[in-house]
Amino acid sequence: MSRVHPAGPMHADVLPEEHPVGPADDLNALEPTVWPRSARREEGVVTVGGVDVRDLAREYGTPLYVYDEEDVRSRAKEYVAAFHDGSVHYAGKAFLCTALAKWLNEEGLGLDVCSGGELAVALAAGFPTERITLHGSNKSSAEIAKALEVGVGRIVLDSYEEIARVGYLAQQMGVRAKVMVRVTTGVEAHTHEFIATAHDDQKFGFSRSSGAALEAVRRVLELKQLELVGLHSHIGSQIFEVDGFQVAAHRLAELLVAIRDEHGIELPELDLGGGYGIAYVPGEEPHDPKSIADGLREIVARECRAYELAMPRLTVEPGRAIVGPGGVTLYEVGTVKDVEGLRTYVSVDGGMSDNLRTALYGAEYTAALASRSSEAPPMLSRLVGKHCESGDIVVRDVWFPEDLAAGDLVAVAATGAYCRSMASNYNFVPKPAVVAVRDGRSRVIIRRESAEDLLRLDAEVEA
Ligand SMILES: *Cc1c(COP(=O)(O)O)cnc(C)c1O
């Protein structure tokens, strides 16, 4: 889906323009696969969780991240139900705050963290530490020590140095750590495709094909402070097809056999990572959690039968699929600039500082005029931000009604994952507030940054 040429850092604008999809029949329609489950248009105005977006903008300002709490909780519930015989760990990097951690704890999920900062949020939320897994491709000794101190449930090992480091720290602290070995299966999945070649060339995990994964297992088994509970694999993100998981599961099963044959042990757990795709634009059709669970269970069971292995307990780690669809970003339109013969540039009061994904990897989004409906004819637009970069694009091609004007509110759908968590203060723009809506009520779960927040770390500001 990415429009950036894979061969190199070509400037996107010199590539031939892909012909944008034509306007929808009804610009006011809210495609249910893309918008939060509670999103409606009532007398022309978009409501989420029963709350009018104009009220949200008035009360909390814009830009504003809005989460449909019931949407997030219901998706979490569906994953837990689908994997009733395994575990669902939410990948905290997609979006994390204490409110969300509490919702997910209440729904029975575990939590993946990949830094000391994410772990601190989990602890601040009182998240049960035995259901936390520590990830990361270069965990510091301080991060590992903290994780051991609070007793996280699993640490996923990513390098030989880390095996030694975790082993040493566990010994120093007099604890035994449950660990998994992260395997690079040679499968790298992308949106709508997967590649089973040239994939070992990346920084995560131990390569299966080179024998590094088996060597890592040997080294872990030599350290009595480490209890090896299983293997981990994460093949990519925004995946719609099961083929990649199938090949990865097959290769992991082969490793389980090799481990059994060499060491006489059957590892009890298999963590298959996350990466389940969501609909950003109409026409994308994600699988539901039940069909994902049934598919994965069947693949692993088949491999285990073939090799006479006991079925391991499965863990999955969805991030985007839990929080992505329930989040929308509200912006206020500031300028509408018609670039003669080309398109109309609609500028909003945020941009790449609150949503980096379009600039970073050509992500696609759906946007709509939210504060009113309009019967005006469609105009081909580009939704852009207020930052000092021409790549500061929120939605590359979007059809808005021709009468769109300054002061209108625009909503961008499916911004719940990897937007707030990747937000920056570029141009000293404060990060937006995050609001949860449910049953006609709203509340701030992360407050908006202020000018004082922006200056707080400046060591030479006069008090
Ligand atoms: C990012 C990540 C995930 C979650 O990916 P999503 O695409 O958000 O589902 C899960 N596991 C690991 C190890 C990850 O790095």
pLDDT in tens, 270-320: 999 999 999 999 999 999 999 999 999 999 999 999 999 999 999 999 999
Q: Is pLDDT at 5 greater than 50 in this prediction?
A: no
Dist. CA 224–CA 245, nearest whole Å: 32
Q: Is pLDDT at 400 greater than 90 in this prediction?
A: yes
Residue 319 beta carbon below 6 angstroms from any ligand 1 atom: yes
User: Please, which pLDDT band fits residue 6 given cuts at 50, 70 and 90?
Assistant: very low
Mutate to test the pocket of ligand 1, among 96, 237, 276 (most ligand atoms within 8 A of CB): 237
Average pLDDT of 25-45?
97
Shortest-distance atom of ligand 1 to CA 94: 8
Q: Which residues contact 256 (CB under 8 A, 6 or more apart)?
A: 231, 266, 267, 270, 304, 307, 309, 312
- Phi, psi dihedrals of residue 375, rounded to the nearest 5°: -105, 10
Residue 233 beta carbon below 6 angstroms from any ligand 1 atom: no
> Helix H segments across 332-463?
357-361, 451-455
Shortest-distance atom of ligand 1 to CA 319: 8
Fold classification of 69-323 is TIM Barrel (3.20.20)
Question: What is the predicted pLDDT for the residue at 199?
Answer: 58
Q: Which residue has the higher pLDDT, 196 or 350?
A: 350
Average pLDDT of 10-21?
52
User: Please, which pLDDT band fits residue 402 given cuts at 50, 70 and 90?
Assistant: very high
Q: Is pLDDT at 189 greater than 90 in this prediction?
A: no
Instruction: Enumerate the CATH 2.40.37.10 domain ranges in the chain, comma separated.
Output: 40-61+326-455
Residue 110 beta carbon below 6 angstroms from any ligand 1 atom: no
Distance 237 CA to ligand 1 centre (A): 7
Residue 205 beta carbon below 6 angstroms from any ligand 1 atom: no
Relative orientation angle of helices 160-173 and 141-150, to the nearest 10 degrees:
50
Query: What one-character-per-residue DSSP string does 214-235 give?
Result: HHHHHHHHH-TTEEEEEEE---
Q: What residue's CA is closest to ligand 1, atom 7? A: 275
Question: What is the predicted pLDDT for the residue at 194?
Answer: 63
Question: What is the predicted pLDDT for the residue at 191?
Answer: 60
- Phi, psi dihedrals of residue 325, rounded to the nearest 5°: -70, -25
Question: What is the predicted pLDDT for the residue at 318?
Answer: 98
User: Please, which pLDDT band fits residue 204 given cuts at 50, 70 and 90?
Assistant: confident
Residue 318 beta carbon below 6 angstroms from any ligand 1 atom: yes
Mutate to test the pocket of ligand 1, among 96, 112, 422 (most ligand atoms within 8 A of CB): 112
Average pLDDT of 116-145?
98
Which of 19-23, 121-125, 340-344 is the least confident region? 19-23
Mutate to test the pocket of ligand 1, among 83, 133, 181, 234 (most ligand atoms within 8 A of CB): 234
Distance 33 CA to ligand 1 centre (A): 21
Question: What is the predicted pLDDT for the residue at 12?
Answer: 38
Confirm whether 388 is a catalytic residue: yes
| Residue 264 zone, left/alpha/beta (φ > 0; ψ -120 to 50; rest) | left
Question: What is the predicted pLDDT for the residue at 14?
Answer: 40
> Exposed, middle or buried, 9 (CB in 10 Å: 0-12/13-18/19+)?
exposed
Residue 273 beta carbon below 6 angstroms from any ligand 1 atom: yes
Distance 456 CA to ligand 1 centre (A): 32
Dist. CA 261–CA 13, nearest whole Å: 55
User: Please, which pLDDT band fits residue 11 given cuts at 50, 70 and 90?
Assistant: very low
DSSP-derived pairing of the beta strands 177-184 and 110-113:
unpaired
Question: What is the predicted pLDDT for the residue at 19?
Answer: 65
pLDDT digits (tens, 9 = 90+) for 68-89: 999 999 999 999 999 999 999 9
Q: How far apart are the first and last CA of the chain?
A: 49
Q: Which residue has the higher pLDDT, 44 or 237?
A: 44
Dist. CA 273–CA 89, nearest whole Å: 9
Instruction: Report the chain's mean pLDDT, rounded to a whole number.
Output: 93
Residue 275 beta carbon below 6 angstroms from any ligand 1 atom: yes
Instruction: Enumerate the CATH 3.20.20.10 domain ranges in the chain, comma separated.
Output: 69-323
Question: What is the predicted pLDDT for the residue at 203?
Answer: 74
Question: What is the predicted pLDDT for the residue at 246?
Answer: 84
- pLDDT above 70 as % of the chain: 93
Distance 112 CA to ligand 1 centre (A): 9
- Looking at domain 40-61+326-455, its CATH architecture is Beta Barrel (2.40)
